[in-house]
A and B are shown apart, each in its own frame.
Chain A
Amino acid sequence: MIRKSDWDAVEEELMNEERRKLGDPSTAEEMLAYTRGELSPEQEERVREVLVCRPDLAEALTKPFPEDDAQPGDPGYLSEAELDKQWVRLQGKIGSNVVPIRTDYWRNASLALAAALVLALGGLLWLAQARRVDEPRVLSGGQLLMPEGRRGGSTPGPVLSFDGESQLVSVSVIGQQEFPAYRLDIVNSSDRRLWASGVVKPRTDETFGIMLPRKFLKPGEYRIVLYGVDGERSERLNAYGFVVPEQP
């Protein structure tokens, strides 16, 4: 009975033999002409042989491009800061003085007019908000989240009762291993990180208060994961589950 290792060994031998025979791999232009059917039958056959003995070229030719952008926490995710850094580098390469779009909007009169309207509306909204902030306001519905293991069973945690457009939740570090600082991540049910707090210290009552905007989280189960941070070291301490309900 032929084994996989036999196939691999024979395949490797054939590949080496053919690579020696065929010489340099086809150029990108040749490969693309091949995919468009623009080569002679002899040239076409040579490219086929190259593709069979060069899995790296075959993969480069067939691998699909990612259609969606990665989200924070996904492999290969690039932050805005990284994109800005690469943009500056790219400008150096192309020898261009490309002005970033954000500072160049104002050349266009219609955009300026639209921006003026947005500013006026924004100002009105800000005034309305400022009046509300000036007055005392009771923050009702703040919810204390219990760490896993204290809730009993495997319940996903309390269902948040949103106070308007947001909900205040508290996470206590009492009873956790003490660290000079902490970090909090919000992860979804697939453990994908949606938000990270950066390095923070708890309030005097040894809790963290987190205001969760309703729009930030779709209905579903989530956890706030608490990490202890000591310099470069970071240790997962506990997780606090909660549920975002469907909007009424």
Chain B
Amino acid sequence: MSEHYAGRDEYFESVYRRYYARVYRFYRSLGVSDDEAHDLAQDAFKRFYEQMHLFRGGPESEWAFLRKLARNVMLNWIRGRTALKRDVKLVELDDPDFLEDPPAPEKPDYAEKEQETLRRNRLAEALRGLPEGQRQCIRLWVQGHKYNEIAELLRISVDAVKSRLRDAKKYLRAQLGEEQ
């Protein structure tokens, strides 16, 4: 804990007042509901309280320490939610739609459906044919990540990301027979 502060509890409240709203907004920006964002922020600050004796340094490193804890809480929450989804049977017996037949699908255009299946099979096959590193880069790029984010996620340089993407696109164009 910083030696600038005389008391542990006073210090903790000052950290809470300075950063709680930012931590809460971080969770909201990840699409977490209002109530859950408060729950997660509370967990992050609880951990900070329990671990603040480990912390040494000024306000910059204090915020870095808290950010790490808050991110940790988020990652564990996602993991917990995934496990819950897998374990819990998701049939709601009270759901009024449960006993009703689903609406009849629209009449399919078989020719279009066939073309679509062919395109998708070719794309899946082409993606599977890419070297692992290139495949990871192109998929993260298609998911909307920027070069620097892909570099951070895969722990490679931004130049490596650009080069892998260039090679992946070239390969895919050749495989899919597209000009662009």
Kindly provide the distance from the CB of A59 to the nearest chain B CB, expressed in whole angstroms: 6
Q: Are A58 and B75 in contact (CB under 8 A)?
A: no
> Closest residue of chain A to B49, judged by CB?
A94
> Which one of B122, B132, B155 has the highest number of Cβ atoms from chain A below 10 Å of its Cβ?
B155
Given contacts A3-B119, A32-B68, A60-B74, contact A27 B42 (CB under 8 A): no
Q: How far is the CA of A101 from the CA of B82 in the complex (A)?
A: 40
| Pair A24/B83 contact, Cβ less than 8 Å | yes
Decide if B165 is an interface residue (CB 8 Å cutoff): no
- Which of chain B's residues 68-90 have a Cβ closer than 8 Å to chain A? 68, 70-76, 78-79, 82-83
Restricting to A17-38, which residues have a CB under 8 Å from any CB of B? 24-29, 31-32, 34-35, 37
Bound-state Cα–Cα, A51 to B21, Å: 28
Q: A70–B29 Cα gap in the complex (Å)?
A: 13
Tell yes or no: A130 within 8 A of B by CB.
Answer: no
Q: Which candidate, A6-14, A152-160, A181-189, is the interface stretch facing chain B?
A: A6-14
Q: Is the CB of B13 within 8 A of A69?
A: no
| Count of chain A residues with a beta carbon within 8 Å of a chain B beta carbon | 61
Question: Quick check: A86 and B20 within 8 Å, CB to CB?
Answer: yes
Chain B proximity of A49: nearest CB distance (Å): 8
A131 interface hit (Cβ, 8 Å): no
Contacts of B153 in A (CB 8 A): 48, 51, 58, 61-62
A133 within 8 A of B: no
Tally of contact residues, B, Cβ under 8 A: 60
A221 to B177: give the CA distance in the assembly, Å.
57
A6 to B122 CA separation, bound complex (whole angstroms): 10
With a CB–CB cut-off of 8 A, which chain B residues contact A32?
68, 71-72
* Residues on the A chain within 8 Å of B20, using CB: 78, 83, 86-87
Distance between Cα atoms of A44 and B150 in the complex (Å): 15
> What is the interface of chain A mostly: helix, strand, loop, or mixed?
helix
Q: Which residues of B contact A24 (CB under 8 A)?
A: 79, 82-83
Q: Does the CB pair A35–B155 fall under 8 Å?
A: yes
Which A50-94 residues have a C-beta within 8 angstroms of B?
Answer: 51-52, 54-63, 65-67, 69-70, 75-78, 83, 86-87, 89-90, 93-94
Known: A13-B124, A25-B82. 14 other contacts (CB 8 A): A7-B123, A24-B83, A25-B78, A48-B154, A54-B78, A61-B71, A62-B152, A66-B22, A69-B22, A83-B20, A86-B20, A90-B45, A96-B12, A101-B10
Give me the 8 closest cross-chain CB pairs, A-B, nearest first. Answer: A28-B75, A98-B9, A76-B25, A28-B72, A60-B74, A78-B21, A28-B76, A62-B149
Q: Which residues on A are within 8 Å of B, measured CB to CB?
A: 1-3, 6-7, 9-11, 13-14, 24-29, 31-32, 34-35, 37, 44-45, 48-49, 51-52, 54-63, 65-67, 69-70, 75-78, 83, 86-87, 89-90, 93-94, 96-101, 104, 108
Residue contacts A-B, CB under 8 angstroms, 17 given? A6-B116, A10-B124, A13-B124, A24-B82, A27-B75, A27-B76, A58-B140, A65-B70, A66-B25, A67-B22, A70-B21, A70-B25, A86-B42, A87-B16, A87-B20, A98-B9, A101-B14
